[in-house]
């Protein structure tokens, strides 16, 4: 249809031909009448991409010959609504998959309990508060409850411990990572099971969502969580959120959702200090009846700053020394046994070099082109994005970023602001590219 084709041509000038060809020209026009356009996406992921990046643009721009707005109805192939021929008329029919649909909590670590949490003076109040929350009558006193802490502070441990304790009290609890919530949502769309999805998430006593900052730029998921939040909150059901960022630091999440995150109580967890991590390691070694020389403990503590990776490395050290029947008394022998884990940990550490290489790869550039002096859009946009990521992910100063990219700090500030402005406007091409780069940079 002409209006749709004109809209796609306009988007090509804004987003680029490749993006439109990949994400929009593959949508099938099923039916069109005066004010409604029915499209079918190959899968639920492409449908979600449209909702998050194009829906608002389509609502503003698509008009018929009488300048009346055209509403886009989008479904995924094999599910949801489709236009069917029936008795010479076009009708909308609800098609649902017979495939089973389950909403399950994420797995719980049986070792995660309040008693197993290593208490530091800074974290004693959050721990005691969460323990008291399990008492009958205390739920929803502060709603939502927002748990803030850096990686390694024990957020997930405490969330799991809280989930176990609440279930023992007879409460219906869902503990899920934000990624899992998104996956459940996409599956429900694909299978035509949104009714079951909403029933599962809105009829529980407690919803616990970990890493809430990962909602960024997922507009459709944010919309669904907004209504889920309202449904639970209005019924006095407890909502517990966790993140390494405070609500005020969250980016690319709708303000109305962020404001709801600020309604309740913020509990801050501090990461374990070096002496506390050493105490934890010593306790683990004692429980395993495994002698741990100070030299080896120093290696583990300096190489694995995160508590989770520290304990994984220690367990691997015990297992491998027993399997290979190797005893170790010095740093060198321990390094040999943990060679692969030490290499993996080193790779996880994000650096400006990794950011530059990943961005260059995403835009099909050589590193030298990205770092060069060319001011073409093909080079300047990736360069600015790399600067933006060095600022956002590594917290580098503008002067430091300027030294890395051989630019003055005013150029760096200008470039980063341009990227932020594009993201604020939900630039689809940039958002998709950024998501791809962040996926590559994310530790496996």
Give the chain's domains with CATH numbers.
Answer: 2-94 (3.30.300.180), 124-269 (3.40.50.300), 274-348 (1.10.8), 352-441 (1.10.1750.10)
Regarding pTM above 0.85, the answer is: no
User: Mean pLDDT score of the chain, rounded to an integer?
Assistant: 84
pLDDT bracket for residue 191 (50, 70, 90): confident
- Which of 171 and 93 is assigned the larger pLDDT? 171
**pLDDT > 70: what percent of the chain?**
90
Q: Among 335-339, 348-352, 383-387, whose mean pLDDT is lowest?
A: 348-352
Q: Among 8-12, 92-96, 102-106, 236-240, whose mean pLDDT is lowest?
A: 92-96
pLDDT tens per residue, range 290-310: 888 898 999 898 888 888 888
Rg, C-alpha atoms of the chain: 26
Per-residue pLDDT, averaged over 256-275, amounts to 90
Residue 226 pLDDT > 90, yes or no? yes
Per-residue HEC secondary structure of 256-268 comes to HHHHHHCCCEEEE
Asked if 356 and 386 count as a contact pair (C-beta separation under 8 A), the reply is: yes
Cα–Cα distance measured from residue 241 to residue 266, given in angstroms and rounded to the nearest whole number: 10
What's the chain's length in residues? 444
Per-residue pLDDT, averaged over 377-399, amounts to 92
C-alpha dihedral, 159 to 164 to 169 to 172, nearest 10°: 80
Per-residue pLDDT, averaged over 166-175, amounts to 90
**pLDDT > 90: what percent of the chain?**
31
């Amino acid at each position: 249809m002409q209006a749709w084709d004109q809209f796609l041509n306009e988007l090509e000038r804004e987003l680029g031909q490749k993006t439109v060809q990949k994400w929009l020209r593959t949508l099938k026009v099923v039916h069109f009448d005066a004010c409604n356009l029915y499209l079918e996406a190959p899968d639920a992921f492409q449908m979600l991409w449209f909702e998050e990046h194009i829906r608002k643009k389509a609502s503003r721009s698509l008009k018929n010959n009488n300048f009346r707005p055209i509403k886009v109805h989008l479904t995924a192939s094999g599910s949801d609504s489709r236009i069917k021929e029936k008795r010479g008329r076009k009708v909308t029919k609800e098609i649902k998959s017979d495939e089973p649909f389950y909403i399950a909590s994420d797995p719980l670590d049986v070792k995660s309990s309040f008693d197993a949490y290593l208490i530091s003076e800074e974290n004693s109040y959050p721990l005691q508060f969460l323990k008291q929350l399990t008492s009958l009558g205390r739920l929803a006193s502060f709603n939502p409850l927002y748990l803030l802490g850096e990686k390694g502070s024990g957020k997930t441990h405490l969330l799991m411990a809280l989930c176990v304790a609440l279930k023992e009290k007879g409460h219906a609890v869902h503990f899920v990572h934000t990624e899992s919530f998104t996956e459940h949502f996409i599956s429900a769309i694909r299978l035509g099971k949104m009714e079951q999805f909403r029933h599962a998430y809105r009829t529980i006593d407690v919803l616990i969502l970990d890493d809430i900052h990962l909602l960024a730029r997922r507009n459709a998921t944010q919309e669904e969580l907004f209504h889920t939040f309202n449904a639970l909150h209005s019924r006095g059901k407890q909502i517990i959120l966790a993140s390494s960022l405070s609500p005020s630091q969250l980016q690319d999440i709708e303000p109305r959702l962020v404001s709801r995150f600020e309604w309740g109580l913020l509990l801050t967890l501090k990461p374990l200090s070096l002496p506390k991590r050493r105490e934890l390691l010593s306790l683990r070694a004692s429980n395993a009846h495994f002698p741990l020389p100070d030299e080896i403990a120093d290696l583990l503590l300096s190489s694995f700053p995160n508590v989770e990776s520290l304990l994984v490395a220690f367990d691997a050290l015990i297992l491998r020394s027993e399997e290979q029947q190797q005893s170790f008394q010095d740093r060198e022998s321990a390094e040999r046994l943990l060679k692969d884990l030490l290499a993996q940990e080193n790779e996880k550490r994000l650096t400006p070099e990794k950011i530059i290489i990943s961005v260059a790869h995403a835009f099909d550039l050589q590193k030298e082109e990205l770092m060069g002096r060319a001011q073409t859009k093909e080079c300047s946009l990736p360069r600015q994005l790399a600067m933006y990521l060095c600022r956002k992910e590594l917290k580098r100063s503008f002067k430091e970023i300027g030294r890395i990219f051989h630019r003055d700090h005013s150029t760096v500030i200008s470039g980063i602001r341009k990227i932020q402005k594009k993201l604020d406007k939900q630039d689809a091409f940039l958002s998709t590219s950024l998501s791809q780069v962040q996926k590559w940079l994310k530790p496996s």
